[in-house]
Structure 1
Amino acid sequence: MGWLILVVAGIFEVGFTTAMKASDGLTRPLPSMAFLVCAITSFYLLFRSLDYLPLGTAYAVWTGIGAVGTVLVGIFLYGEPAGLLRVFFLGLLIFSIIGLKFVSSQ
């Protein structure tokens, strides 16, 4: 259960970073509201996941999911470069997240 909560928290983290960009410095009301809702939801779910998972693992996975998702949003929505090294290191991050899942004691 903790892993599912954590993955959803990570998805909301991607939501809040994407809305943060779209909010134009929190000057656009709808994206600003989406940022606040996603951020609060993401942190709340991260807190709930700590009932099941170790702090270090949960935080590393949460930030990893957010980082991977935000990079993908940048590439696909904002035309950021997807060079070979960038994709390689993104893959390493994904494997690290999966690795933490497999070595977690929970």
Structure 2
Amino acid sequence: MAWVVLVLSGVLEAVWATALGRSEGFTRLWPSAVFGVALVVSMVGLAYAMRDLPVGTAYAVWVGIGASLTVVYAMVTGAEPVSAAKVLFLAMIVGGVVGLKAVS
């Protein structure tokens, strides 16, 4: 169960990171509200997962999922250009996350 919560919390990290960028310095209400809710729920989920998983592993997986999804979303929406190097490095992050799960 801890792994499921951790993955969902990582997804919410991407949500709050994207919302933070769209809030334009907290001057836009709805992106700011999405940021706040997603941040709190993501942190609560991370804390829950850390009760059963090693801190370093849980944090690395959480950040890896959040960072990867944030970049993928930006590339899909056209906010960030796609390149072969970016795709390769994202694959390396995902591989690292999978590897951490495999050795846990």
Where on the TM-score scale, by shorter chain, does this alignment land: which range? over 0.9
Identity within the alignment, %: 41
Q: Residues of 1 paired with 2:51 and 2:33: CA distance?
A: 28
Cα deviation, residue 38, structure 1: 0.3
Q: How does 1:47-86 map to 2 (within 5 A)?
A: 47-86=47-86
SS in 2 for 1:69: helix
1:55-90 deviation line (CA, Å, top 9, x unaligned)? 000000000000100001110124311111111011
The code of the aligned residue for 2:94 comes to I
Cα deviation, residue 51, structure 1: 1.2
1:24-67 deviation line (CA, Å, top 9, x unaligned)? 11100111010000001100100000111000000000000001
Q: Which structure 1 segments of 5+ residues have no match? A: none
Would you identify which runs of 4 or more consecutive aligned residues in structure 1 move more than 3 Å?
none
Alpha-carbon RMSD across the aligned residues, in angstroms, is 0.8
Q: Which residue is equivalent to 2:13?
A: 13
The code of the aligned residue for 1:4 comes to V
Q: Which structure 2 segments of 5+ residues have no match? A: none
Q: Which residue is equivalent to 2:31?
A: 31
Q: Residues of 1 paired with 2:81 and 2:98: CA distance?
A: 25
Number of aligned positions between the proteins: 104
Is residue 97 from structure 1 mapped to residue 97 from structure 2 by the alignment?
yes
Q: Residues of 2 paired with 1:11 and 1:78: CA distance?
A: 20
SS in 1 for 2:47: helix
TM-score by length of 2: 0.97
Q: Which residue is equivalent to 1:4?
A: 4
TM-score by length of 1: 0.95
